[in-house]
Structure 1
Amino acid sequence: MKKLCLLAMSALLLFSCKKEEKKDFKPSFTKVETDTLLTDSVISIRGLVIDGDKAWYSANKGKYGWVSLSGGGNFSGIATHDTIFPEFRAIAQTKESIFILSVATPALLYKISKDGKQVKQVYTETGEKVFYDCMKFYNDKEGIAMGDPQNGCLSIITTKDGGNTWQKRDCAGLPDVAEGEAAFAASNTNIIIKGDKTWIVSGGKKSRVFFSADKGGVWQVFDTPILQGGEMTGIFSADFYDEEVGFAGGGNYEQRDLNKGNKILTIDGGKTWTLAGEGTGPGYISCVQFVPGSNGNELVTVGLNGVFYTYNRGSSWKKIADATNLNTLQFADAHTIIAAGQKNIVRFKLSN
């Protein structure tokens, strides 16, 4: 019996050592080339989606459109409501359509055919506290958008018919928000979807993660250690590589250089979070995204300090571009970043 116990303890120790063994993190690229895809002196873009060889965007002054990634022609449109030129910060897509959603009141949600020829308003909401931040689709039928709190809960609207109609969720089926807890329409990355699972990140005086395993039917809420407590603090952006590994960034918008308390990592699906790269890398982060195919090790951020890259889950960082006017980014593939913000859309090509 004693011999068996010793063998069991040895096996346990061996397993523990292997589990704690440090990973051999390596960067997947060493060179970055930049080219400009769109220049507009008055445009401000915070929403991007990649559709094949097109990068669709949602912007201020009612503007939306796409830029070609393969050398073809670009397209631009303007959606207005009476005399209002909305600010579109949220964008999402299905196989056949693009959806853009404006901030503030009235909230205006438009469905646009991918040839740009058909534009239909499919949802409107008015109210003093109406302010939508982000929108995503689970599939070609089911979608979700979220916004700042009303009546004590986050604003959630959903569709089950491909975006033709949208319904507002009642607070009775949603978690309560804390005082001063809201969200930021910084980069259309407040919502993350993996299969049926949904994560929504909040910010402000309280910054947490709202999680649903069943497309928004039942919700749990998890605390985070990110900087919070002020109106312009907390999580501004998040991404999940898979159902377990996720990363969130933000900080304090009013202290752009502060790089402590602004980067957090989870490896258990968002239940618990740890601070990453304290005192290193970017300050305020507007958008963070995992590099595709990187096993959840590599991330890129944009914000007021430039474009930063980590290959070890946020432990150390390297600035890869000085651009300080970018609000959002999406990967077209593992070697191509499309980023947008004030006045332009740019492409970063990653290579060795």
Structure 2
Amino acid sequence: MTSMGKTRRTVALALGLSGVALAAAFTGPPAHAAAEPTGAPAWQLKETGTEVRFRGLAAVSRTGAWVAGSEGTVLRTVDGGRSWRDVSPPAAEGLEFRDVEAFDTRRAVVLAIGEGEASRIFRTEDGGATWTETFRNTDPRAFYDCVTFLDSRYGLAMSDPVDGAFRILSTRDGGRSWHVLPSAGMPAALPGEAGFAASGQCLVGSGPKDVWLATGGGATARVLHSADRGVTWTVADSTLPAGDPARGVFALAFRDRTHGIAVGGDYRTGQSSPRAAAVSRDGGRGWRQAYTPPPAYRSGVAWLPHSGFAALAVGPTGTDLTTDGGRTWRTVDSGSYDTVGCAPDFGCWASGEKGRVARLEH
């Protein structure tokens, strides 16, 4: 198990910009820098009142978002980040939340990571006023990293390998109940291979049946794909750094069942990540290294809505933008973020260390 795993068409009316126009305009100064307004979109920090690290993020809209992080903390906003409500599950202070998936501002599922019973899933239907624990891992060999939903009913969660293969949980009732899928359709894991619980994006879906799983820690950083909601899987090598427990694919984003982006690298401070991004145009069967990748390790990635070419990648040293589908990237902000997500109405959010949460503003 990796050490990071353990720590681990509407146009956007509110912005007045299309996806392509927004990408072209995202050249403003960092949100934390003192500068005159330029009219270009940029991250604007939202005060959360806490110092915990938020690696879990669910962007619902420009006004609604959930973040989940250390010390069992879950926050929710319904007013665009002007205020945040602490909706943490009771007695969760010792848990590490690394992923949150929200259906709206009332219904959400959060995943706590860790060995054995530290891995748990909670669900709320009333905006976090009450929570129900719907899964608690009882296998000391399992360590759950990420959860994703294909729609309001079907969802999957993934664990690091058990008995030589990644373990997959499945729900068909919106996260109210979970069961372990058979492992017969899962390729064998490489020695040392695992997932990274760094941004809630090591397991992602697109459409009603397609799911992708990102790996690291092995001799090759790989991407696994299922076209049947996690029953059977194929596997492909990526071009991202590998061969070390700190290296691999940390996050995936697919804008449809064909076009995907992978980001990652080496998460250790000061270590180079010369191949921190790759792209796929065939549903993850093959990956090509980005011609101009981000300059350093990136842990989160998201496509900008209503654009087939623009996406954002984030990491501890900054935010990068691509406007050509992941082929080339350029840094547009130097702030530290762990994960990023966008809602259909162009509500784009990012979160990370020291309570940092930001929304893309114009």
TM-score (norm 2): 0.82
CA shift for structure 1 position 334: 6.5
Q: Give the unaligned 5+ runs of structure 2.
A: 1-19, 27-39
Distance 1:156 1:38, change over 3 A: farther
CA shift for structure 1 position 121: 0.7
Distance 1:39 1:238, change over 3 A: same
Q: Which moved more, 1:208-217 or 1:333-342?
A: 333-342
CA–CA distance in 2 between the matches of 1:89 and 1:136? 12
CA–CA distance in 2 between the matches of 1:75 and 1:319? 32
Q: Aligned to 2:338, what secondary structure does the other structure show?
A: strand
Q: 2:102 aligns with which of 89, 93, 101?
A: 93
CA–CA distance in 2 between the matches of 1:322 and 1:85? 31
Question: Are positions 1:239 and 2:239 aligned together?
Answer: no
Question: Are positions 1:159 and 2:171 aligned together?
Answer: yes
CA–CA distance in 1 between the matches of 2:307 and 2:345? 8
Instruction: Name the structure 2 match of 1:332.
Output: 343
CA shift for structure 1 position 322: 1.4
Question: Are positions 1:198 and 2:211 aligned together?
Answer: yes
Q: Aligned to 1:204, what secondary structure does the other structure show?
A: coil
For 1:236-283, what per-residue CA distance to the aligned partner results, in whole angstroms no more than 9, with x for missing partners? 0110121111110101112556242221111111111110034x5331
Distance 1:162 1:32, change over 3 A: closer
Contact 1:257 1:305 in 2 (8 A): no
Question: Are positions 1:49 and 2:43 aligned together?
Answer: no
Q: 2:78 aligns with which of 43, 68, 84?
A: 68
CA shift for structure 1 position 161: 2.0
Question: Are positions 1:306 and 2:302 aligned together?
Answer: no
Instruction: Name the structure 1 match of 2:112.
Output: 102
Query: When you count strand as a share of all residues, which structure comes out higher?
Result: 1
CA–CA distance in 2 between the matches of 1:188 and 1:162? 18
Residue type at the aligned position of 1:245:
H
Percent identity between matched residues is: 27
CA–CA distance in 1 between the matches of 2:182 and 2:344? 38
CA–CA distance in 1 between the matches of 2:305 and 2:60? 16
CA–CA distance in 2 between the matches of 1:318 and 1:260? 14
Instruction: Name the structure 2 match of 1:320.
Output: 332
Instruction: Name the structure 1 match of 2:357.
Output: 345
Question: Are positions 1:176 and 2:188 aligned together?
Answer: yes
TM-score (norm 1): 0.85
CA RMSD of aligned residues (A): 2.2
CA–CA distance in 1 between the matches of 2:327 and 2:287? 14
For 1:27-53, what per-residue CA distance to the aligned partner results, in whole angstroms no more than 9, with x for missing partners? 432423332223344311011112243
Contact 2:55 2:338 in 1 (8 A): yes
Instruction: Name the structure 1 match of 2:296.
Output: 283
How many residues are paired up? 322
Q: Give the unaligned 5+ runs of structure 1.
A: 1-24
Contact 1:225 1:275 in 2 (8 A): yes
CA–CA distance in 1 between the matches of 2:197 and 2:172? 24
CA–CA distance in 2 between the matches of 1:307 and 1:337? 13
CA–CA distance in 1 between the matches of 2:216 and 2:123? 28
CA–CA distance in 2 between the matches of 1:220 and 1:212? 7
Q: Aligned to 2:184, what secondary structure does the other structure show?
A: helix
CA–CA distance in 1 between the matches of 2:322 and 2:271? 18
Instruction: Name the structure 1 match of 2:231.
Output: 217
Q: Which moved more, 1:90-99 or 1:243-252?
A: 90-99
